[in-house]
Amino acid sequence: MAQSLQGSFGILPHRLDCTAALAPGILIYETETEGEVYLAVDQGVLVKADKDVLVSVRNAIGGTDLDELHEAVKREFLKVDEQEKNARSVLAKMESGFIRRLMRFQHE
């Protein structure tokens, strides 16, 4: 089961080939060896072609226990949020420096 921008959906063995834009959420799949596996995924794309299902996402955290996965997601997403804040701060400083130099160049 996966979360798309239009809602959740499942893929049965004889489903027609398809693609879907994935929304952040929990992707659930089953294997013979591991049983049900849960993946917390960021936005991405799912492609079903013949018997293959391919998923491409920017960030994913896997597990078989939902409680452990929930804690891992909280830790990782908090870390990512902090990294994004730092990156935005550096980018804002670079932009303002560029604008100041551009203004000086125009006045010369």
What integer pLDDT is reported at residue 84 of this predicted model?
Answer: 77
Residue 73 — very low, low, confident or very high, per pLDDT cuts 50/70/90? confident
What integer pLDDT is reported at residue 95 of this predicted model?
Answer: 85
pLDDT at 63 over 80: no
Please state the rounded mean pLDDT for residues 72-77.
Answer: 76
Average pLDDT, the chain: 82
SS3 track for 30-75? EECCCEEEEEEECCEEEEEECCEEEEEECCEEEECCHHHHHHHHHH
| Sequence-distant (≥ 6) Cβ neighbours of residue 70 within 8 angstroms | none
Count of C-beta atoms within a 10 Å radius of residue 35: 8
pLDDT digits (tens, 9 = 90+) for 22-62: 888 888 888 889 888 888 888 889 999 988 889 998 888 88
pLDDT at 107 over 80: no
